[in-house]
Structure 1
Amino acid sequence: MKKFIRMDINKNTRTKSILIIQFIFSFLVVSYSQNFDEAKNNMLKARAIKYSQMDSALFYFEKSKNDFLMLGDTLLAIKCLLESSVVNTTKADYSKSYDGYWEVLRLSESIGSELSVASAYDGLGTLYGLFYRHQEALMNYNKSLHIKKQLIKEGKIKLPDILSTYYLIAINYREQQIINKAQQYLDTCYQIRKEYPSKTLFIDAEQGYLLYYQNKFKEAEALLQKVEKSFLSENETYLVILYSFMGDLYNKLDNFEKCSEYYLKSLDVAKKYRSHQNYVPEVYKKLGDLYLSINKPRIAYAYLKNSFNANDSLFGARSINNQRFIEIKDQFRQEQQKLMEKARLTKLENEKRLLFLRNTVLSIVLVSLVMVSFITFFYLKYRHKTAEKMLKSDQKAKEEKNKEILEMKNKELTSSALQLIEKDELLMEIKSKLSSAKNKDLKELIAKINANSKHDWKEFDTRFTSVNQGFYKSLSERFPELTQRDHKLCALIKLNFSSKEMSLLLGISIESVHTSRYRLRQKLKLDKGENLTEFIARV
């Protein structure tokens, strides 16, 4: 009982040690997981409101970016930066957008994320395009295109991932009034969309603009009206651009009312969402020109004044001053890159030292935990093995003792059986001498001798069964076709009786014993060379 209690204590100690180690690791994992989930939820929240509540979206993007950097997930931090830069472009905060894309380039190069580098070039191309620097925009788009084509070739991305760059190049050529080139790139977008079906409203909207420039006004009108419904439910902020183009379309069709209506709609959406502010001065100017064309100078003056004020409030989003600003920023960026390279190397050295120190401390903690775990494990294993050895030793001693007792009882049983045999021999001798007599009393005496022999066998059988428990049962289970007589023979063979001794106990001739042994071998399905006595001894 004490041994079992000791084993339970050892088992409980081992379980507690494992639970403590699991708790420490679980705590670290849960802590990281909670911080990661919070950062991811902030990113998803920002995505959900980036078209309706841009300032809040930018706040959540910034927060999740910083959290991801702290957690060491640079790739997700880059995704936050890319999306926040798009939002800054939409709300005409070009300086922040420009800085965001350059930070994406820096972080992407540090982790070798080529797709993120391509996305940053797409964003920078869009910024240059807004300032009419179309050649520089095209240069950035081509860099992105080259990277994406290589990634497709290597099987790292799929063909639809390149669609956005072709779309941006089409816009670039359309803004330069190179319509045939723009149409070529847009056709490529349609080919990709045909091979990989997807809902790309922007491509359809761009096709409507190209139809306008190709003087296919009715086709342009039908297509733009069709996509308008989809943008109303999916991305209302884009309607600033769409409505501006639809106003241009109806101006060409000399439909003054619809032209004015769509320009005003464009301004309403821009005001509602504070998006695509770079279009606002242009739309005001279009309205001013429209009212000048119908001799309403007062209204025209009001709109042109609004155009000037809007342009001024955006720091001249497309003015010469703002173009100069981005040129200066480019020059500054080149100088800054040299300084940043030096700072980056210094930072890397510091980070290496810090990382080494952190990894050293962490390694010491982990090694200590592992050592404690191993020591505890091997100690418990040693205790368990010791207890197991003691238990096995006790069991072996018990088995040997039982074996000795069994052998002793079988010897007693054999001795008793031999005495019975001697008695039976004597009785058989008396019986043979008396069998010729005809006296009634003598015949009764012979019958009693026969009955006594049967009683002797029953007594022997009972004692055999008590010593060799399960012997007959094991025989019956393995060889169900054996008879009771076969069982008797097996019991005598187990006790190693001779054929003569068996014949006396069973009341049959020696020849019958031999025959019975032969038949028993057949029933037991023994091979010719297999010893019957050894086989029975193993049962």
Structure 2
Amino acid sequence: MKHLFSSLYSDIISFVIGTFWLFSSVVLAQGANDINESGKNFFLDSKGKKYENSGELIKELRKRHETLLQKGDTLQGIDVLMQLADVYGHRAEYANSYDVFWQSLFLADRVKNDSLDALIAWRLGRFYSFYKREKESLKYLNKALNIKKNMVKEGNADPAYLVLNYFAFVSTYREFDMPKLASKYLDSCLIYYKDVKNQLPMPQLNFEKAFILSKTGHNEEALELFKNLEPYFLENRPSYMVLVYTYWGDVLQNIGDLNNSVKYYEKAINASEKYKRHIDFTPLIYERLTEHYVKQGNYQKAYGNLKIAKNLDALFFDGRSSKNKSMLEIRDEFRIEKQRQLDLIQQQRFEKLKQEEKISMLQRVILLGTIVFILILAFFFFRHLRNKHKLEKQLIRRNKELEIQKANELLELKNKELAASVLQLVEKDEFLK
């Protein structure tokens, strides 16, 4: 399955390039329409002519990239770099493709755009899947999906464009030969799918469906679906017939139609040679042909196909063998530097959180001290009021007692005066008598 996983890299690169401007058009305001149209043409790639003279195309793209950077057009410069990575991929120059890809990441890091970040994460996830690094691949694909979900939640993207992210999982799980998981994400594609500008074509989804059907024992349905898809791909993406014919041949192998399966394998090889696309997929096809001729007892043809398969395998895959996978780690200075920066940022955030925690604790202590102080003040204030009120009551009571005593003394004095007056009257009356 090594070739099956890796051979679709070229197609995925083309697919990602095509949808890049779809992502950008949702959020970016400057030059979005021109970019989108460019991406659409790149995605359709109707006749595959742009790869017929790829050497000249590489020179043209590099020159265009330098011109755009001199003009300060970083976004268009990133687009050109991604096209360049795609060209290198179809030439099976994966080291160059990988270098150009990380170069685009350096530039994209300056843009600070969610849509572009989603595309980069998606592209990186697909690149890791090409190297059968499942963990890293799914990590970045999930990151891209989460960014797009947030954009949809914030109203910056139509939910229909989530199909492109879910489709990346479908393709990845197909390459990892996990049809059940591929089917799960294909269902998500169908849930969100609707006819919007530059949307993923439905035949692309049906191609994945046909693969899943062939892997789950529904060969007749898969065969019928491949037949229905053939006119569309011949008209719009003839180079993609390399994959269609290969999986078509697999279905014929499954149902025992060995002779016709060979015809479709040969059609796939012819399509690859004609359009100069998916050339790294051909070793897998030659291996299938080898197995077929061994079953027929035609060992001469089997040996010939096996030799071709081995030569192509050495040409395309030696640099990506298990012992050479460290090349990825050596070459992606951006990822390492980016990770170092992220670690530094996380450390700074951690220190900031610790400082904020200390400040928060100090604030809580100050607040608690203030509350206790206020409570103490309130206690003494209310105590003072109570004592004052008590003294006032005592004063009022004493004043009343003094007034009563004064009134009694006055009354007593009046009584004495009255008694004296009475005695005087009595004495006067006696004197008169």
Confirm or deny: 8 A CA contact 1:104 1:117 kept in the other structure.
no
CA separation of 1:46 and 1:215: change in aligned 2, threshold 3 A:
closer
Inter-partner Cα distance in structure 1 for 2:249 and 2:285: 9
Q: Which amino acid in 1 is paired with 2:144?
A: S
Q: Does 1:226 align with 2:225?
A: no
Greater Rg, structure 1 or structure 2? 1
Q: Residue 179 of structure 1 aligns with which residue?
A: 179
CA separation of 1:220 and 1:315: change in aligned 2, threshold 3 A:
closer
CA separation of 1:211 and 1:338: change in aligned 2, threshold 3 A:
closer
Alignment of 1:252-331 (within 5 A): 252-316=254-318, 319-330=321-332
Inter-partner Cα distance in structure 1 for 2:167 and 2:100: 22
Confirm or deny: 8 A CA contact 1:92 1:277 kept in the other structure.
yes
Q: Give the Å deviation of 1:138.
A: 0.9
Q: Which amino acid in 2 is paired with 1:121?
A: A
Q: Residue 121 of structure 1 aligns with which residue?
A: 121
Confirm or deny: 8 A CA contact 2:47 2:239 kept in the other structure.
no
SS at match of 1:155: coil
Alignment of 1:475-514 (within 5 A): none
Q: Does 1:149 align with 2:149?
A: yes
**TM-score after normalising by structure 2:** 0.63
Confirm or deny: 8 A CA contact 1:46 1:57 kept in the other structure.
no
Alignment of 1:22-37 (within 5 A): none
Q: Residue 73 of structure 1 aligns with which residue?
A: 73
Structure 1 counterpart of 2:210, from 186, 203, 208: 208
Confirm or deny: 8 A CA contact 1:105 1:116 kept in the other structure.
no
Inter-partner Cα distance in structure 2 for 1:75 and 1:334: 20
CA separation of 1:318 and 1:285: change in aligned 2, threshold 3 A:
farther
Alignment of 1:440-459 (within 5 A): none
Q: Which amino acid in 2 is paired with 1:224?
A: F
Deviations 1:115-158 (A, max 9, x none): 12211222222221122112211111011111111122222222
Confirm or deny: 8 A CA contact 1:53 1:273 kept in the other structure.
no
Q: Give the Å deviation of 1:243.
A: 1.2
Q: Does 1:53 align with 2:50?
A: yes
Confirm or deny: 8 A CA contact 1:118 1:145 kept in the other structure.
yes
CA separation of 1:50 and 1:131: change in aligned 2, threshold 3 A:
farther
SS at match of 1:314: helix
CA separation of 1:174 and 1:202: change in aligned 2, threshold 3 A:
same
CA separation of 1:277 and 1:119: change in aligned 2, threshold 3 A:
same
Q: Residue 133 of structure 2 aligns with which residue?
A: 133
Confirm or deny: 8 A CA contact 1:243 1:263 kept in the other structure.
yes
Inter-partner Cα distance in structure 1 for 2:268 and 2:141: 28
Inter-partner Cα distance in structure 2 for 1:291 and 1:318: 28
Q: Which amino acid in 1 is paired with 2:237?
A: N
Q: Give the Å deviation of 1:164.
A: 1.8
Q: Give the Å deviation of 1:50.
A: 8.5
Q: Give the Å deviation of 1:311.
A: 1.2
SS at match of 1:89: helix
SS at match of 1:53: helix
Confirm or deny: 8 A CA contact 1:121 1:143 kept in the other structure.
yes
Confirm or deny: 8 A CA contact 1:85 1:100 kept in the other structure.
yes
Inter-partner Cα distance in structure 2 for 1:44 and 1:117: 17
Inter-partner Cα distance in structure 2 for 1:231 and 1:221: 15
CA separation of 1:318 and 1:205: change in aligned 2, threshold 3 A:
farther
Inter-partner Cα distance in structure 2 for 1:200 and 1:90: 24
SS at match of 2:48: coil
Q: Residue 533 of structure 1 aligns with which residue?
A: none
Q: Which amino acid in 1 is paired with 2:159?
A: L
CA separation of 1:44 and 1:167: change in aligned 2, threshold 3 A:
closer
**Structure 1: tracts of 5 or more residues without a match:** 1-35, 342-539
Alignment of 1:357-368 (within 5 A): none
**TM-score after normalising by structure 1:** 0.51
Deviations 1:153-209 (A, max 9, x none): 222222233222211111222333332221111111112224759533221111110
Q: Give the Å deviation of 1:57.
A: 4.2
Inter-partner Cα distance in structure 1 for 2:186 and 2:204: 11
Q: Which amino acid in 2 is paired with 1:226?
A: N
Q: Give the Å deviation of 1:315.
A: 4.4
Q: Which amino acid in 1 is paired with 2:255?
A: L
Deviations 1:4-41 (A, max 9, x none): xxxxxxxxxxxxxxxxxxxxxxxxxxxxxxxx9xx99x
Which has the higher relative contact order, 1 or 2, with Cα contacts under 8 A spaced 6 or more apart?
2
Q: Which amino acid in 2 is paired with 1:53?
A: K
**Structure 2: tracts of 5 or more residues without a match:** 1-30, 343-433
Q: Residue 167 of structure 1 aligns with which residue?
A: 167
Q: Give the Å deviation of 1:46.
A: 8.9
Confirm or deny: 8 A CA contact 2:106 2:334 kept in the other structure.
no
CA separation of 1:280 and 1:340: change in aligned 2, threshold 3 A:
farther
Deviations 1:362-398 (A, max 9, x none): xxxxxxxxxxxxxxxxxxxxxxxxxxxxxxxxxxxxx
Inter-partner Cα distance in structure 2 for 1:203 and 1:254: 26
Deviations 1:236-263 (A, max 9, x none): 1111111111111111111112110111
